[in-house]
Amino acid sequence: MANKIKFELSDRTKRTLIRGIRRLSKRDELFKGLLRVFNRLGNLAQAYGTKKFLSGASGSSGLRRRTGSLAQSFMGGAVQYKGLPAVRVGVLNGPAEAYAHVHEYGTKGKGGKLPDIRPKKAKYLAVPLWSKAAGFGSNRAVTPSGVSRFSSPRDYPGQLRFVSIRGGGAGGGGALYDEEDFTNNEPIPGQATYLMLRKVSIKPRPFAEPSLRHAMKFADGMIYHMIDEMLGGDDG
């Protein structure tokens, strides 16, 4: 998540900032004060994004919450960028780091920026079906919250049978059905355990950038009041 967001200070805040810079005795205090403000802005973005996009609560927007790993890894705070105070927001470490950028930017097949996901070695990508999200599926390979129970279909404890699907969203792929989900040697409609896809496209569901943009609405006022308080309210 490397997007940079710039914001413009009001003329009032610019004048107050220049007064602070001109006070030699206040420069170190000013720099530390800006870091404190930017840290507050980062914390504000983190709280806003977690509640609005990553909580999974009724009425929230964004991603469906499963393990909570993404929300727990979403952080915000102050950093120094090219020697100046800045705000950084995003998933900076943890297991969610591997897939957070895909959710943020999406893939090209769904109007996003990143390449569609394709298998590196196998012929297909195996997608365990969770009926709550997909609208169909046996739920045999997922937990009640939609988390995959097995690292791959090879670890599935039952007997799976491949059924070819021509065209459509599967891109010429197919589906794996548990042998128990067949009647008269035909799969029960909507009871597939895995979809086997040649590629997967993911719609962008940004959470970091809109959270930071929300927080930056308060930047000008927070910076102005910090500097004004530091200078003792002196208009000089």
> What are the pLDDT digits (tens) for 91-146?
977 778 878 999 999 999 999 999 999 998 888 999 999 999 889 999 999 999 88
Helix axis angle for 208-216 and 27-53, nearest 10°, is: 130
Given a cut of 50, the residues of the chain with pLDDT beneath it are: 1, 58-59, 168-170, 235-236
Residues 201/107, Cβ–Cβ less than 8 Å: yes
Position of tokens 């609005």? Answer: 52
What tokens does 217 get?
Answer: 């609405």
Report whether 27 contacts 21 (CB < 8 A).
yes
Span 41-51, pLDDT tens digits: 999 999 999 99
What is the structure's pLDDT at 170?
46
C-alpha–C-alpha distance, residues 130 and 192, integer Å: 10
Q: In terms of C-beta density within 10 A (0-12 exposed, 13-18 middle, 19 or more buried), how is residue 29 classed?
A: middle
Task: Output the pLDDT for position 165.
Answer: 81
Are 104 and 114 in contact, with CB atoms under 8 Å apart? Answer: no
What pLDDT, on the 0 to 100 scale, is given for residue 59? 44
pTM of whole model > 0.75?
A: yes
Q: How far apart are CA 130 and CA 89, in angstroms?
A: 31
- Cα–Cα distance between 153 and 138 in angstroms, integer? 14
Query: How is residue 46 written in tokens?
Result: 């983190």
- Which pLDDT value is given to residue 236? 45
Q: In the prediction, which pLDDT does 62 show? A: 56
Residue 192: how many other CB atoms lie within 10 Å: 27
